[in-house]
Amino acid sequence: MIIAVGADHGGYELKTKIIHWLTENGHTVSDVGCHSNDSVDYPDYAEKVVQEIVSGTAKYGILICGTGIGMSIAANRHYEIRAANCFDENTAALSREHNNANVLCLGARVLSEETALNMVRIWLKTDFAGGRHTTRIEKFSK
Ligand code: RB5
C-alpha cells in the first residue's frame, strides 16, 4: 500500500518528519514534493496527491500546509477524495471511522510535531466503520 505525501512550503519540514516516521514504520511512501522551504502553491501539491489516489497508485494521501485548510479545500474538489483537516488524535480517528477519509490534512503551523505524528499513526490504523456511514458517504462520494 502506497501513501502519497505532499506539502507546500508551510508543511515542508513536517512532511520530512512524517515521511521519516512512515518509512521507519514500514510504510511505502510516494513523496510528491515540495522539496524545500521555497514558496509554492498548495493546490499544485494537493493535485499531485489526488492524482496518485484517483489513478490507483496510492491508497491514501497525507497533505500538509500551514493550517491544513487550503490543502483540504483543494483536494475535496474531487469526487473520489474525502480529505479531512483534523486537529487532534480523536478527529483523525473519527475521520477514518465515520468518513472513510482517504486523505489526512495537517496544519504544520497549528499542530505540534508530536501530535501530528500521533495523528498519522492513529489515522492509518483506524478502520472505516461502514454501516450507516456508507449510506451517507455514497450521497457525495464514491
Ligand atoms: C502558506 O503561507 C499558507 O497560506 C498555506 O500553507 C496554507 O496554510 C493555506 O491554507
Q: Write the pLDDT tens digit of every residue in 12-52.
A: 999 999 999 999 999 999 999 999 999 999 999 999 999 99
CATH number, domain of 72, equals 3.40.1400.10
Print the domain residue range for 49: 2-138
Check 20, 27, 35, 98 and give the catalytic one.
98
Residue 119: predicted pLDDT: 98
Cα(34) to centroid of ligand 1, in Å? 13
Residue 142: predicted pLDDT: 77
Q: Is there a catalytic annotation at residue 78?
A: no
Rounded Cα–Cα distance for residues 110 and 67 (Å): 6
Q: How does DSSP assign 44-69, residue by residue?
A: HHHHHHHHHHHTTS-SEEEEEESSSH
User: Where is 105: in which H helix or E strand?
Assistant: strand 103-107
Per the CB < 8 A criterion, the answer to whether 83 and 71 are in contact is yes
Nearest CA to ligand 1 atom 10: 70
Residue-wise pLDDT for 67-93, tens only, equals: 999 999 999 999 999 999 999 999 999
Q: Give me the number of domains the chain comprises.
A: 1
Atom number in ligand 1 closest to CA 67: 8
Atom number in ligand 1 closest to CA 10: 6
Atom number in ligand 1 closest to CA 107: 8
Cα(120) to centroid of ligand 1, in Å? 20
